[in-house]
């Protein structure tokens, strides 16, 4: 039987399919302004790409901030639980997750069965999220996807003292006016992000092995800054954005219908 998970985030919508406890495929698209349409589209796109008929999907679990907009799902579950299950499904050795998405960041401690033991979440402030990096990239006139590689070339990261996105942006603009090197400013932004997210990790006392999920996991500058701050290796799997959707699909397979 085939099971599906759909994760509606603030920036991207993700879907995953599993069969016989194996991943069949995933899909990521922009959420856009309408999470209802995004949920329908990411699911239909994945079915079409996988050449699977809708009626062959036994159950669907939705997660993410827009989970309640997926009205065709059998159940909605929190992303904390789904991320834990997804990480354990992909790598049973994982004991900690750092998830940095578009609008929030999380640190999740897992037991040996992939159950959540503890977690901390920042969903009240854009600092330490993908939105923070997006604002900074715009101020620096750099593509968001290029931040990681540019920042890694820095030898003297700039110091950004503000944790508020608005004030940090003002700091960055002043640094630009002061002709500080772009790579140094970006490295400073990454260290600022790592400080914010690292605080969450310290709060839940994450233990290795730790995996990073969410779109920001693709930014190697942030990953390296987090490794330096936490003094541990951070793994990034093949499906950092889709982890929550994969966990939702696994949970769908466990439902009693």
- Helix H or strand E segment including 174: helix 165-177
Same-domain status, 128 and 251 = no
* Percent of the chain with pLDDT strictly greater than 90: 88
Residue that the structure tokens 């995004």 belong to: 38
> Is residue 242 within 8 Å of residue 28, measured between CB atoms?
yes
Q: How far apart are CA 175 and CA 189, in angstroms?
A: 12
pLDDT given at position 168? 86
pLDDT in tens, 174-192: 999 999 999 999 999 999 9
Beta strands in 41-180 (DSSP E): 57-63, 75-76, 96-100, 105-110, 116-122
Instruction: Confirm if 246 and 86 have CB atoms less than 8 A apart.
Output: yes
* Three-state SS at 256: coil
229 and 184 assigned to the same domain: yes
Integer Cα distance of 210 and 254 in angstroms: 25
What is the SS3 assignment for 146? helix
Q: Are residues 147 and 85 both part of a single domain? A: no
Q: Which two tokens stand for residue 134?
A: 């997006």
DSSP-derived letter for residue 68 is: G
The CATH code of the domain that includes 41 is 3.30.420.40
Q: What is the pLDDT of residues 62-87, one digit of tens each?
A: 999 999 999 999 999 999 999 999 99
- Tell whether omega for the bond before 139 is within 30 degrees of 0, i.e. cis: no
For residue 209, whether the previous peptide bond is cis, meaning omega lies within 30 degrees of 0, is yes
Sheet holding 116-122, edge to edge: 116-122, 105-110, 96-100, 210-213, 234-235
Q: In terms of domains, do 85 and 212 share one?
A: no
CB 208 within 8 A of CB 232: yes
- Measure the CA–CA gap between 223 and 193, rounded to whole angstroms: 10
Give the pLDDT band of residue 165 (cuts 50, 70, 90).
Answer: confident
- Specify whether 121 is located in the same domain as 198: yes
Q: State the pLDDT at residue 162.
A: 79
Under a CB-based contact definition with an 8 Å cutoff, are residues 210 and 236 in contact?
A: no
Domain coverage including residue 85? 1-91+241-257
* Per-residue confidence band for 58, with pLDDT thresholds at 50, 70 and 90: very high
Region 193-213: what's the mean pLDDT? 93
- Give φ, ψ of 255 to 5 degrees: -70, 145
**Measured between alpha carbons, how far is 30 from 104 in angstroms, rounded to an integer?**
17
pTM (predicted TM-score): 0.93
- Considering the domain architecture, whether residues 204 and 247 belong to the same structural domain is answered as no
Tally Cβ neighbours within 10 Å of residue 19.
18
Shared-domain flag, residues 109 and 87: no
Number of domains in the chain: 2
Contact yes or no for 212/172 (Cβ under 8 A):
no
The answer to whether residues 1 and 80 belong to one domain is: yes
Same domain as 102, residue 199: yes
Domain shared by 46 and 135, yes or no: no
**Looking at the predicted structure, is the pLDDT value of residue 161 above 90?**
no
Do 78 and 108 lie in one domain? The reply is no
| Rounded Cα gap, residues 105 and 194, in angstroms | 11
pLDDT given for residue 154 in this prediction: 95
Q: Note the pLDDT tens digit of each residue in 85-131.
A: 999 999 999 999 999 988 889 999 999 999 999 999 987 777 788 88
| Shared domain check, 7 and 103 | no
* Cβ-Cβ contacts under 8 Å for 188 (sequence gap 6 or more): 157, 158, 159, 160, 175
């Amino acid at each position: 039987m085939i099971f599906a998970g759909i994760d509606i985030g603030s920036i991207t919508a993700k879907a995953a399919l599993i069969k016989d406890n194996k991943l069949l495929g995933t899909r990521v698209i922009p959420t856009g302004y309408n999470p209802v349409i995004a949920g329908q589209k990411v699911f239909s796109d994945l079915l079409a790409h996988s050449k699977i008929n809708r009626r062959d999907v036994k159950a669907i679990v939705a997660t993410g901030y827009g989970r309640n907009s997926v009205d065709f799902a059998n159940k909605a579950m929190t992303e904390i639980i789904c991320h834990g299950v997804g990480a354990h499904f992909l790598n049973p050795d994982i004991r900690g997750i750092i998830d940095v998405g578009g609008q929030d960041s999380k640190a999740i401690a897992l037991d040996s069965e992939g159950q959540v033991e503890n977690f901390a979440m920042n969903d009240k402030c854009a600092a330490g999220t993908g939105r923070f990096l997006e604002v900074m990239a715009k101020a620096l006139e750099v593509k968001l996807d290029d931040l990681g590689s540019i920042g890694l070339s820095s030898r003297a990261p700039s110091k950004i003292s503000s944790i508020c996105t608005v004030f940090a942006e003002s700091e960055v603009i002043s640094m630009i006016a002061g002709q500080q090197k772009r790579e140094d400013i970006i490295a400073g932004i990454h260290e600022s992000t790592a400080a914010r997210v690292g605080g969450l990790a310290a709060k839940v006392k994450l233990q290795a092995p730790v995996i990073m999920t969410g779109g920001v996991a693709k930014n190697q500058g942030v990953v390296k800054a987090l490794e330096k701050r936490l003094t541990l290796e951070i793994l990034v799997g093949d499906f950092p954005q889709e982890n929550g959707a994969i966990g939702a699909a696994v949970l769908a397979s466990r439902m009693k219908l």
